[in-house]
Amino acid sequence: MTTANPEASAAGCLHCGLFTEPGTKFCCAGCAEVHELLLSRGLGHFYRLQKENAFLPPRPVKKKPLPTLVAREFSVGRRRFYLEGIHCLGCLWLLEKLPELEPGILEARLDVAHQILEVELDEARTSWTEVLTWISRLGYSARPLDESDTFLSLRKKDRIASLSRLGVAAFCTGNVMLLSVSIYAGAGERWSRHFGLLSAALAVPVLTYSAWPLYRAALLPLKHGRVSIDLAIVLALVSGILMSAWSLARGSSDAIYFDSMSMLVFLLLASRAFLQQMKESLAEESPALAFEGEEYYLRVLGEEKKSVAADDLVPGDRFELTEGQALPVDSTLFDCQEAFFDLSLLTGESAPVKYLRGDQVEAGSRLTSKEASFLANAPASESRLAKILAQIRAYELHRSPAVEFADRMGRRFVLVVLALCALLLFWKPDAEGLSRALALAIVTCPCVLAFAIPLTLTRALQRMAKAGILFRDAGKLEALASIRNIFFDKTGTLTTGEFRMLEWEPVSGDQEEARAAAFALETGANHPVGKAIARFLDRQKKSGSDALPLADFREVPGEGAEGSIGGNFWKLSRSKRPATPGHNKVALTKNGICIAELTLGDAIREEAAQVMDCLAKEGYQLQLLSGDSSTNAGATALATGIQKWHGGMKPEQKAELVSGFRNSLMVGDGANDAVAFRAASVSVAMQGAVELSLRHCDVLLTRPGLSSLPLALHLAQKTMRLVKTNFTFTLAYNLLAGALAISGNMSPLLAALLMPLSALTVFFFTSWQTNEGNFA
């Protein structure tokens, strides 16, 4: 049978592409079953689509109308399920193909961000039990939801259940520890026996009800042939419980570990609850807020004014923005006759757009006029911009090589620890050997290893988003840290991309009259040169009156514009003086006498030379690629300090050149450089239409200009150094703690105290390193 996924490498799973052991085609039994299932159902093209659309952000699923009910027995039911195991867009595609796997399923829609699957079913043909069976066969765990359940209510229920388990563990563990202190202090044999029985009774709810999430986390992956990082902990718990019960039944107190086991469960639940709370607090940041870096907006309530966060705005709230601020929510312009907005974030066009009172304005539009009032129409999370960013965040970590490496190392580490525990028990098959094995399994839990890298990347991505650097794929953060060759497009990247007036050079005569005449000649011009001159003079506000009498006006193609004003013959035409490469020179004459020389062109960005100098000093190799002539490309390269340039290049030629360099970065202005973007290791798009640019690039600079590029490279390198630091600390901790446990210098109780402490240490260190003061 030929494989349906020919793009998978020899070291990658044929279904999901993750690392596999040498000589195996799948990373787990679940992937093998799903792969075979897809082929048998004729859905092998899943793998081709998965590869072709990997660079596209997920598109909203259009809801299909319900089938028309006919006279035959046909009962449509609809239910929602909360799924565990959602990782990527492949999950979205696969689960929404359920109707092709089971004809009785009419439709399946997955909310990736919230992991909620909505299924419509013909209950006369298929039962809900069969639906759950199919979901399970595809490798997911599903929990049916009530109609009243929302993502927030689900999270609230989960939080209440977690706190209940934690509360039970805290109460019982505290009492178990009190009884254990009495035993360790030398209670008599009779009291020691009674205290041991009471400790066992108090430990039962901790080791059953409270510890249930740990058991489930370890057992569910085993169902699909995978090893969980919680497996060693669970085996240690089970072994400790059985040995403690056996010792208690025999009347011995040598191997009773109810205190250690209870303390371990309590500390694990407490540390994970804390870390989950921190994770949710990071995830709850409004995507639009993180994207724009705006922290507060001004809400107007009657006569009272106060600053509030963007997420606190609700429909119906009145609020104000000052010039330069971006709208946090979709809003209506209120109590203001007109206002101008920069829509470059949404459309890529930088020219201000005028809105009138009562017009609807989208979130992400930046106010360029004076203070204006608005009426919020929807929460920040429901804007188009927020949904685009939420879709990116829904799968930003699943392709990261560092995260895959941490997961792989964690699974292998569990197997190594279990093997060492088995050797310890074989070497010392007594209470001492069991104590050392338990301590080893507990203190070397690789959850810190699997937790440290995703936490570091998540924090870094959020900080970089606030700095105007948006990553579509966290895996590219690692690639960006290794970049050595940087290629730049010219137009719109090193230049502003706007043909405009660069210089007005007086030659003779009255310049105020000359400006007024030039404005009269070019008002309403269709040629880019004429439009640029009119825009410049209009902004200068020195053109006198736009109602100057103009007679005998004539526009000569390829030459310019001419006409009579006040009895004088004025003409704008190509200058006889040579212009610098890339620029146009126009002469303004009055009755044949030159009054002024005008220079026009695509201006080089003000910060471009400084940025190029900074990058060159850092050791990056810089090259300019342009479709413009070699002369113009060379002039721009020399003006910005780039030593190598290539002009007259077609998109395919750009891509061929870029692909010949390892660790290459292509910087362009969006969709025009899509071919070269795909050839580069990492692609960066300048500020433009966010929805369009994110379809083609890996990184989007959301702030105008090139200034964010050196910062992006610096922060990527700093992030990877922090990842390596955390990994080194975690590895050193596990080796040292493991050695102490094997040598008998660490008790299971001490191991239970140290293991969660290491996770908290990594968390606080990462939070400190990535706070706004240090992460720069």
Is the residue at 337 inside a domain? Answer: yes
Range scoring the smallest mean pLDDT among 42-51, 214-223, 441-450: 42-51
% of the chain residues with pLDDT over 90: 6
pLDDT at 581 (0 to 100) = 67
What value does the mean pLDDT take over residues 110-114? 66
pLDDT for 466 equals 79
Specify if 63 maps to a domain.
Answer: no
Average pLDDT over residues 418-436: 83
pLDDT for the residue numbered 304 = 65
As a whole number of angstroms, the distance between CA 330 and CA 385 comes to 9
User: What is the residue-averaged pLDDT of the chain?
Assistant: 75
pLDDT at 163: 86
Higher pLDDT, 52 or 550: 550
What tens digit of pLDDT does each residue of 682-736 get? 988 886 655 555 666 888 887 778 888 999 999 999 988 888 888 888 888 888 8
Report the range out of 190-199, 291-300, 762-771 with the highest average pLDDT.
762-771
Residue 50 tokens read as: 């998965």
**Span 747-773, mean pLDDT?**
79
Residue 697's contacts (CB-CB under 8 Å, 6 or more residues apart) are 472, 668, 670, 677, 683, 684, 685
Q: Is 227 strand, coil or helix?
A: coil
Report d(CA 309, CA 296) in Å as an integer.
Answer: 5
Average pLDDT over residues 323-338: 82
Number of domains in the chain: 5
Look up the CATH number of the domain holding residue 516: 3.40.1110.10
Residues in the chain: 776
Residues 574 and 612 in one domain: no
Question: For 336-385, how does the pLDDT look when each residue is reduced to its tens digit (9 = 90+)?
Answer: 788 888 776 665 555 567 888 888 888 878 887 778 888 888 887 777 66
Together in a domain, 50 and 82: no
- Asked if residue 31 has pLDDT above 80, the reply is no
Q: What distances in angstroms separate CA 287 from CA 61, 396, 508, 687, one per listed residue?
A: 20, 13, 56, 17
Residue 398 has pLDDT above 60, yes or no: no
Question: Quick one: pLDDT band at residue 766, thresholds 50, 70, 90?
Answer: confident
Q: Are residues 661 and 590 in the same domain?
A: no
What one-letter code names the amino acid at 311?
Answer: D
Q: What's 356's domain CATH number?
A: 2.70.150.10
For residues 568 and 638, membership in a common domain is answered with no
User: b vs e for 734-761, b when ≥16 Cβ sit within 10 Å of the residue's Cβ?
Assistant: beebbebbbeeebbbbbbbbbbbebbeb
Q: Is the residue at 746 inside a domain?
A: no
Quote the pLDDT of residue 472: 76
H helix intervals, 77-230: 89-95, 98-101, 128-137, 151-184, 189-205, 212-223
Give the pLDDT confidence score for residue 614 in this predicted structure.
93
Q: pLDDT at position 70, please? A: 39
* Least confident window among 45-59, 427-441, 465-479, 508-522: 45-59
Look up residue 252 and give its two tokens: 């011995």
Q: Which residue has the tokens 């000589």?
A: 23
Give me the pLDDT at residue 92, please: 62
Same domain, 506 and 599: yes
Q: Above 90 in pLDDT, residue 138?
A: no
CATH of the domain at 671: 3.40.50.1000
Domain edge (last residue) among 127, 149, 171: 149
Checking if the pLDDT of 395 tops 50, the result is no
Closest by CA position to 253, among listed 186, 174, 206, 171: 186
Quick one: 344 and 312 in the same domain? Answer: yes
- Cα–Cα distance measured from residue 584 to residue 529, given in angstroms and rounded to the nearest whole number: 9
Whether residue 480 sits in one domain with residue 357: no
**pLDDT(148) > 70:** no
The pLDDT, as a whole number, for residue 286 is 44
Residue of 532, 398, 485, 503 lying closest to 665 (CA atoms): 485
pLDDT at 400 over 90: no
Spatial CB neighbours of 661, under 8 Å, sequence gap ≥ 6? 485
The domain boundary residue, chosen from 603, 632, 663: 603
Mean pLDDT of 466-481: 81
Find the mean pLDDT for residues 25-35: 65
* Predicted TM-score (pTM) above 0.85: no
CA angle at 473 for the pair 470 and 479, rounded to the nearest 5°? 95
Instruction: Tell me the residue range of the domain where 665 lies.
Output: 465-494+606-713
Residues 93 and 32 in one domain: no
Same domain? For 677 and 700 the reply is yes
- pLDDT band of residue 176 (cuts 50, 70, 90) is confident
At position 182, the amino acid (one-letter code) is S
Residues 618 and 485 in one domain: yes
Predicted confidence band of residue 622 (pLDDT cuts 50, 70, 90) = very high
Q: Which of 713, 728, 746 is the last residue of a domain?
A: 713
Spatial CA neighbour of 487 closest among 375, 622, 392: 622
**Shared-domain flag, residues 518 and 599:** yes
The predicted structure's pLDDT at residue 68: 41
Kindly state whether residue 324 falls inside one of the protein's structural domains: yes
Residue given tokens 């399994």 in the structure block: 441
Say if residue 568 is in the same domain as residue 653.
no
Q: Is residue 271 part of a domain?
A: no
At 522 the three-state DSSP class reads: helix
Q: How far, CA to CA in Å, does 540 sit from each of 304, 544, 601, 606, 640?
A: 40, 10, 18, 20, 28
Rounded to whole angstroms, the Cα distance separating 569 from 560 reads: 14
Q: pLDDT tens digit string along 33-90?
A: 667 766 666 666 666 555 544 433 333 333 344 344 333 444 677 888 887 766 555 5
Burial class of residue 605 (count of CB atoms within 10 Å of its CB; 0-12, 13-18, 19+):
buried
Q: Output the CA–CA distances (angstroms, integers) from residue 130 to 104, 107, 126, in the order listed.
A: 10, 15, 7
Please report whether residue 502 resides in a domain: yes
CATH code at 143? Answer: 3.30.70.100
Q: What is the pLDDT of residues 698-711, one digit of tens each?
A: 888 877 788 889 99
- Tens digit of each residue's pLDDT (9 = 90 or more) over 250-304: 776 666 778 878 888 887 788 777 766 665 655 555 444 444 444 455 666 655 6
Tell me whether residue 161 is in a domain.
no
The pLDDT of residue 517:
86
Whether residue 155 is contained in a domain is answered as no
Weakest-pLDDT range from 101-115, 326-340, 478-492: 101-115
Residue 7 has pLDDT above 50, yes or no: no
Q: How confident is the model at residue 487 (pLDDT cuts 50, 70, 90)?
A: very high
User: Could you tell me which residues are beta bridge partners of residue 563?
Assistant: 570
